[in-house]
């Protein structure tokens, strides 16, 4: 046997913590993606604006060349938007004031009428070291367009600083770096509070459920006022508690009644043994053994009935059926009734009926129904079998006092006697109808009390018939 101590199971986060963690994670990922998209869009828009300005500046210089009014230095000029005009030998023909006397910004020389745009990260490094007014460190966008000068082909060069786009991103990054954690903290705190409020009814339900034991199943869980899943959960759990309470009540009553029913034959046997022990010569051996055997048989039947009902409740009863002529079983029972009682037995309603079942169990079902009929009939019993609506039907009726409609289902409960004046000797243990219904159910059928056909009581059993 492995005696090595196992490490304690890692405690999982509660639902409240998990919900908060998931919310913070999802919102964090969404905000990070949104921040990246925002930075990208911002940079693209600023670069688009700068590019448009550079193109406009280039178009302006080209128009000066076309009009033949080119001057050096060029009119206008901006430290972040610089222009030059060069000839085919890369000599500067004209330039902005800040670039007068400087080398060409680029060696790109497109044919006349064509335009080339490209990034130029380190365009003015040398120039910025000697010219205080050029404080930009780049990067730049270089646009070149081929032109025709009076002395031959040339090119207009325009350099636009992209530093504003970089600065915008650099300014936004710290703000986003501070704002995102703050937003996540707000989301986490809000989720924690709201989840706590949402789960408060669950905690109340859990606390109350923890207090409920087998001794106080009458207690119920609190029902939250909201019409949501928690409300439905509490109602479902209360319904389950009601079923458990009813089951516990039935179990306690069943145990109590079974104890009472078993106590009577045991007491009788004890009395008989005590009398025999004190006066061994008095009782007749044959009579004593007969009475003793009757009590044992009665107790054995009760135990067998209780065992069968318990097996039905647990669903462990095994059904081994075969084709049975139910009408013949009923006919045999009718003949037995005529011999055992002085009652009139009407068998005019018996029709051929074959079902799948166990002969012994079906005999027991019919015997229990007829025993009940004997106990209540005034003078006549009716037995019927037929096929109706695709099912096999057995009906046992009598002309006795009848059963009130409110008690027609209650009579199938165990140890129930509607006539409390009836004793165990005259009324049985109160298991006959419960056992009969259990047998019908075990055959895939049903048993119920229906509207009396002859003024007394009518019980109808239905069984599936083989195809």
Model confidence over 266-284: pLDDT tens digits? Answer: 777 777 777 777 766 555 6
Residues of the chain with CATH 1.10.287.130: 229-314
| Structure confidence at residue 264 as a pLDDT band (50, 70, 90) | low
HEC string for the chain: CCCCCCCCCCCCCCHHHHHHHHHHHHHHHHHHHHHHHHHHHHHHHHHHHHHHHHHHHHHHHHHHHHHCCCCCCCCCCECCEEEEEEECCCCEEEECHHHCCCCCCCCCCCCECCEEEEEECCCCHHHHHHCCCCCCCCCEEEEEEEEEECCEEEEEEEEEECHHHHHHHHHHHHHHHHHHHHHHHHHHHHHHHHHHHHHHHHHHHHHHHHHCCHHHCCCCCCCCCCCCHHHHHHHHHHHHHHHHHHHHHHHHHHHHHHHHHHHHHHHHHHHHHHHHHHCCCCCCHHHHHHHHHHHHHHHHHHHHHHHHHHHHHHCCCCCCCEEEEHHHHHHHHHHHHHHHCCCEEEEEEECCCEEEECHHHHHHHHHHHHHHHHHHCCCEEEEEEEEECCEEEEEEEECCCCCCHHHCCHHHCCCCCCCCCCCHHHHCCCCHHHHHHHHHHHCCCEEEEECCCCCCEEEEEEEECCC
| Structure confidence at residue 203 as a pLDDT band (50, 70, 90) | confident
Residues of the chain with CATH 3.30.565.10: 322-464
For residues 346 and 123, which has the higher predicted lDDT (pLDDT)? 346
| Structure confidence at residue 124 as a pLDDT band (50, 70, 90) | low
The reply to whether omega before 93 is within 30° of 0 (cis) is no
- Cα–Cα nearest to 401, from 379, 420, 376: 376
| Structure confidence at residue 427 as a pLDDT band (50, 70, 90) | very low
Mean pLDDT of all residues in 365-381: 89
CATH 3.30.565.10 fits 322-464, yes or no: yes
How many whole angstroms from its chain centre is CA 247?
A: 26
Mean pLDDT of all residues in 257-263: 66
Angle at CA of residue 433, ends 431 and 436, nearest 5°: 105
Q: Is the pLDDT of residue 177 over 80?
A: yes
What's the pLDDT at 424?
45
Distances (CA, A) of 169 to 35, 134, 202: 11, 22, 48
Which of 146-155, 242-251, 369-378, 440-449 is least confident?
242-251
Find where tokens 């095994």 sit: 318
Top CATH class of 229-314 equals mainly alpha
Q: Is the pLDDT of residue 31 over 50?
A: yes
- Contact at 8 Å (CB) between 433 and 454? no
For residues 80 and 235, which has the higher predicted lDDT (pLDDT)? 235
What's the pLDDT at 97?
84
Mean pLDDT of all residues in 424-432: 58
What's the pLDDT at 130?
43
| Structure confidence at residue 3 as a pLDDT band (50, 70, 90) | very low
Average pLDDT, the chain: 80
- Contact at 8 Å (CB) between 71 and 148? no
Angle at CA of residue 296, ends 294 and 298, nearest 5°: 70
For residues 128 and 195, which has the higher predicted lDDT (pLDDT)? 195
What's the pLDDT at 426?
45
Name, in order, each residue with C-beta under 8 angstroms of 57's C-beta and a sequence gap of 6 or more: 76, 81, 83, 158, 160
Burial 432-444 (b: 16+ CB within 10 A, else e): bbbbbbbbbebbe
The pairs formed by 255-260 with CB atoms below 8 angstroms and a separation of 24 or more are 257/414, 257/415, 257/430, 258/302, 258/306, 258/415
Q: What pTM was computed for the model?
A: 0.49
What's the pLDDT at 349?
92
The reply to whether omega before 73 is within 30° of 0 (cis) is yes
- Compute φ and ψ for 121, nearest 5 degrees: -65, -40
């Amino acid at each position: 046997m492995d005696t090595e101590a196992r490490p304690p199971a890692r405690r999982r986060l509660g639902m409240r913590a998990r919900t908060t963690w998931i919310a913070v994670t999802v919102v964090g990922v969404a905000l990070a993606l949104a921040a990246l998209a925002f930075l990208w869009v911002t940079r693209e828009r600023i670069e688009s604006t700068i590019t448009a300005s550079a193109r406009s500046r280039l178009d302006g210089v080209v128009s000066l060349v076309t009009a033949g009014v080119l001057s050096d230095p060029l009119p206008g000029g901006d430290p972040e938007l610089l222009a030059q005009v060069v000839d085919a030998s890369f000599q500067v023909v004209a330039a902005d004031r800040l670039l007068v006397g400087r080398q060409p910004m680029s060696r790109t020389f497109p044919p006349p009428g064509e335009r080339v745009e490209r990034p130029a990260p380190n365009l003015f490094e040398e120039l910025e070291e000697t010219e205080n007014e050029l404080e930009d460190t780049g990067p730049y966008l270089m646009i070149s367009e081929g032109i025709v000068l009076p002395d031959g082909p040339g090119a207009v060069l325009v350099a636009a600083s992209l530093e504003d786009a970089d600065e915008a991103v650099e300014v936004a990054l710290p703000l986003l770096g501070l704002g995102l954690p703050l937003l996540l903290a707000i989301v986490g705190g809000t989720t924690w509070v709201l989840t706590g409020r949402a789960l408060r009814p669950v905690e109340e339900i859990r606390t109350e459920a923890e207090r409920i034991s087998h001794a106080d199943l009458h207690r119920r869980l609190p029902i939250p006022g909201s019409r949501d899943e928690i409300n439905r959960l509490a109602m479902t759990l209360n319904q389950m508690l009601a079923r458990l309470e009813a089951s516990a009540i039935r179990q306690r009553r069943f145990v109590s009644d079974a104890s009472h029913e078993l106590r009577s034959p045991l007491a009788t046997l004890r009395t008989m043994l005590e009398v025999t022990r004190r006066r061994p010569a008095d009782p007749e051996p044959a009579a004593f053994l007969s009475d003793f055997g009757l009590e044992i048989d009665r107790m054995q039947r009760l135990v067998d009935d209780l065992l069968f009902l318990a097996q039905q409740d647990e669903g462990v009863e095994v059904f081994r059926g075969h084709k049975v002529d139910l009408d013949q079983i009923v006919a045999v029972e009718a003949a037995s009734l005529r011999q055992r009682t002085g009652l009139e037995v009407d068998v005019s309603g018996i029709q051929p009926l074959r079902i799948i079942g166990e002969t012994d169990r079906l005999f027991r079902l019919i015997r229990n129904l007829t025993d009940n009929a004997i106990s209540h009939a005034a003078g006549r019993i009716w037995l019927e079998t037929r096929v109706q609506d695709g099912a096999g039907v057995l009906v046992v009726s009598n002309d006795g006092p009848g059963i009130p409609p409110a008690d027609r289902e209650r009579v199938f409960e165990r140890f129930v006697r509607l006539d409390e004046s009836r004793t165990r000797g005259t009324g049985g243990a109160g298991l006959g109808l419960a056992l009969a219904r259990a047998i019908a159910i075990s055959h895939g059928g049903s048993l119920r009390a229906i509207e009396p056909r002859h003024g007394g009581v009518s019980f109808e059993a239905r069984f599936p018939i083989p195809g």
